[in-house]
Each structure stands twice: as C-alpha cells, then as structure tokens.
Structure 1
C-alpha cells in the first residue's frame, strides 16, 4: 500500500481493476505501472514521493495480478501488448482522466508505450523503464539474438512448453524470486518485501495471462481477436511522439546492458535517456527517486 493512500476498484473494459491511489484529487495525474513478476508495491515508494509533490498517483494491478479480475469467464486470458494497452486506456476512460503521465517498466512500460504511440492525445508524457521502445515486433520475433541474450530469456522459452506452464503453476514464487535475483543483482530485497508482492501471483488468472503473454509475442499462439485491430497498428512499429524519459538500469538482467541508447530512433518528440548505475530491471522499486523525478520533469 502507498503510505497515506487508499485502494479502490473500478470496472474498466473487460476488467474489474484494483488500484492504489495517493495524492490530491485535483492534482496532475500519473499512472504508475508494474511489470512481470512484480505488482504495485514496485511503484509505492515513487508514488509516495510524487503524492508529496501534489501529483495524483494511480497504481493499478495489471490483468492477472492481485485483486484485479476479469468480468466474464468467457474473456480470453490474453497477455498480449494490445490487451495491456487497451486495459490502460479503459482505466483512463473509466476514471474520467483526459490526460496523464504514464510511467512503467516491463509489462507496465509496454502498456504505457502502446497508449503513448496510438493515443498520444491522452498522454502528457511517458517514462519508460528498461526497454525504452517497449513494443513487440512480432513479425521479427523469430530472428535469433546473440547467445548471451538468448540465455537470459530462458524463462520465456520455458513458458512456451507445457512443462513451463506446469512449473509456473506449481512454483510461481520460486521462479519469480530467481528472476528478481538475476535481473537486479545489486537489489538486496528481503523475504518480507518479496512476500508482499508474491501474494499477487495467487490471482486465478495469473498463469494463463503470463503463459499467453510469452507465447503470443513470438507468434506461438494467436492473440485475442478483440485486439486484432490494435495489434495491426502496432505491427507498423509506430513512432512515439509524446515527451519521453527513458530510464535504463545499468545492470538490468533481462538483456545485456546497451553500450548506447539504441531506441532513440523510435521517438519523434522531446526525448531524454538516462542510465542508472547499479540499478537492475525493477527501476521504480530500486530507484524510486529517479523514477519520481522523471515523472515530475514531464509535468
């Protein structure tokens, strides 16, 4: 929970979205978005800093996490990028938010990039942690990467198999704890910190959403037809024109550290890139001051 904040629910699109909020009701809005395998606790410290500066912060549980639930058992449990972006847009609509700063990393950064690319009129600015241009190029996903990069993606290929589905079902905490350690080698989290987040993996849709996410991005399984039009737009790898700050952890473990800012070509608006020494994949929880400062710089 965010200190001084509250929790709430709202029906938005195909979901009943659980979210935390903090800060003045009339303040400028920032939506802070977690990734896999994390939850809103990753953004709590940054949200507290922002709320103290007069920013209204909203921190939702993504589909498949924590108390967020699908409204219908018939809705496909998709984890594709278009679904995450549509969920975020629906949340803005449901809460009557015309514009916001969108700040996230991993899955949450992907949702923020989707909305920033396709609905820029709804976005004051974008903070993208880790991968700056966090949109999948599914058509090119079959091209092999260098060996070191492929090794780091072991969990994605594991989830392509039924053994991986069974492993995630039976050992979701163990997999998540291992990924935290691999991806953030200098982050000395304790078991209480992990346990607070791991409770969100008990969501009944967690496994199906995660498995679909890591299969659909490689074209292993089809996406939800409801999002086909959005995916078609994303397939063109659209430019992002909104003001953007990219924060990359210098020791992020998902991909080998970049020697330079390779994503700048995808951004056509005001753009800043910052590397964070000794910070790994979980940027907002490992570097809440830098994350909050990036949001404030866009307001």
Structure 2
C-alpha cells in the first residue's frame, strides 16, 4: 500500500493528483482507473512493476479524489475526448517518454483514445475490453434486454432523478456496481471504503452524469473537443503494441471483445481471464504480465 500522499501537477484544465511508485528514472507506465474505482485498483500491479524498475504513475481522473479543475468556468465534461486529452497532457507535464498505458473501464477508454489519436506519445497499451473507444452512434441503438438490464445505472443517469440519486447515494450505487460487475469477487468493506473516499469530490457527480449522457447522445460535448470526437467517430485503428484483456465473468461484456482484434494493426495479443470487470483487483498481476509483454515488443 502506497504510504506517500498524492503528488500534484497542473495540466491545461486540471490540477492532477497522482501516486508514483518506483525509481524516478525508471521506464514509464501510466495506469488509469475507471468508474466507480480509483488509483487503488492498481495497487498490486504498481508495486510489482516498481519492483522491476518501472516508474508507475496512477492519476486520479477528473472528478475523483484530490484532482481538481483549475477554473470554475471549465465545463465538467466526462466525454472520452476530454478524458483522453487529460492523459496525454499528464504525459507531457511529467515529461514521460512514450510510456506504456494501462487502463480499464473509463481508464481503458481514455488510454485507447490516446493510443489512437496520439500514437507518437505512447510506447504501448494494455486495455481491458480491447478497443474501448465509445461508438456514440452505436449507443443510440438498443442492445439485448439482458445487457440493457445490466446497464441500469446508465439509464438512471439520463434523468434528473438519476442525478439526484447519484448525488445522494454515490457510495451505495458504487457498492452495488462493484458487486454486480464482479460476481465472483468477495471484497471487504475496508477495500471498498478506501476507494469510495475518492467519490467525495465536488465535481464527481457532474463529470459522471455528463459522461453517460454524452455517451448516449443525450448531452452535447464541450465544443472544444468536437474535432477530437469527430476523429474518434471514424474508428481510427490502434497501431501501438497492445495486449487486450477480457474478464469471462464480466456481465458488461458478454461474449468478450476478441472481435475487436481487427482494429489493432500493430503487435497484438488478446487474453481472457476467469474474473469479472475489476481485473486489476480480481487478478492482481495480470496487468503487470501484460505490460511486460508489451515492453518486449518495444525492444
């Protein structure tokens, strides 16, 4: 468990709080969490990687933990272009040279965005749920009823009643999602509570609500990100070395995502693990092994 308090660094829009493990001159890795998780999801992998020479950066994404917007005037956007840009601007601010990116859920989405739009900034990618760039147009269509049922929280967040529910019950909603998405994982309350503290951020609700409304086409994105969103709508391939991962017991990804392989045009390997959605905590070390595989393709 990391003992040092988060470090802070400014990007264009954020004062980003992040944890850092490993030697300052180590080979760089950035591990990005999703919703509703935080930097502690990658605790085991960060320490494993640091022990073998990596400099591991774990940022609190916008709306989580001590990360804050620099201006009250900035739209609290949760759209994928904004979150991807946050990662690439963090890479620049920390002067990291082509780090390997790893992420799941929102973090996997953001890392895929960076790998697709700024491949020159990236040394490789480990992505849960493969090509996790959101196809907003596809999101306008209905999915199978069984999957729509699993996505109840996304439907809830489309209404003002849902916003109020998240505002008042963010911890309860998140605990429900942990249990539903990782049906074979028994976590203790101390583990959950440590992460839940990251939801006590003044922008958490606005960022989360905007993320899901924008994803479903029910809220406009920030106009400054429209050129990036237009590029993402074209489904740009990911050319950097990549390992992709599925959790066979993840109800959000029934059948897995191996069919995304055609969107990876560089070295690529896909792995399916007998776990649910929260791979870093359900299968500690899986991201480490994937990062090491990507690193062998760099040399």
TM-score (norm 2): 0.96
The separation in 1 between residues aligned to 2:22 and 2:5, in whole angstroms, is: 10
In structure 1, the partner of 2:264 is 267
SS at match of 1:56: strand
| Deviation by residue 1:18-44 (Cα, 9 ceiling, x = unmatched) | 000000111110000000000001011
Aligned: 1:169 with 2:167: yes
In structure 2, the partner of 1:35 is 34
Contact 2:28 2:97 in 1 (8 A): no
In structure 2, the partner of 1:249 is 247
Aligned: 1:7 with 2:3: no
The separation in 1 between residues aligned to 2:154 and 2:204, in whole angstroms, is: 15
The separation in 2 between residues aligned to 1:292 and 1:170, in whole angstroms, is: 36
| Deviation by residue 1:88-126 (Cα, 9 ceiling, x = unmatched) | 011011111131000000100111000000111111110
| Deviation by residue 1:123-163 (Cα, 9 ceiling, x = unmatched) | 1110001x211011112221111111111111001000111
| Deviation by residue 1:154-179 (Cα, 9 ceiling, x = unmatched) | 10010001111000000001000000
Contact 1:184 1:282 in 2 (8 A): yes
1:296 to 292, 296, 299: 292
The separation in 1 between residues aligned to 2:9 and 2:135, in whole angstroms, is: 31
In structure 1, the partner of 2:280 is 284
Runs of 4+, deviation exceeding 3 Å: none
The separation in 1 between residues aligned to 2:138 and 2:285, in whole angstroms, is: 36
Gaps of 5+ in 1: none
Measured after TM superposition, the shift of residue 297 of structure 1 is: 1.4
Aligned: 1:179 with 2:181: no
In structure 2, the partner of 1:153 is 151
| Deviation by residue 1:46-66 (Cα, 9 ceiling, x = unmatched) | 100000010000000000000
The separation in 1 between residues aligned to 2:242 and 2:284, in whole angstroms, is: 17
Aligned: 1:108 with 2:104: no
The separation in 2 between residues aligned to 1:18 and 1:195, in whole angstroms, is: 19
Gaps of 5+ in 2: none
Measured after TM superposition, the shift of residue 6 of structure 1 is: 5.5
> In the TM superposition, what are the counterparts of 1:87-102 in structure 2 within 5 Å?
87-102=86-101
TM-score (norm 1): 0.96
The separation in 2 between residues aligned to 1:213 and 1:137, in whole angstroms, is: 13
The separation in 2 between residues aligned to 1:26 and 1:53, in whole angstroms, is: 12
Aligned: 1:20 with 2:16: no
The separation in 2 between residues aligned to 1:34 and 1:10, in whole angstroms, is: 18
The separation in 2 between residues aligned to 1:194 and 1:124, in whole angstroms, is: 32
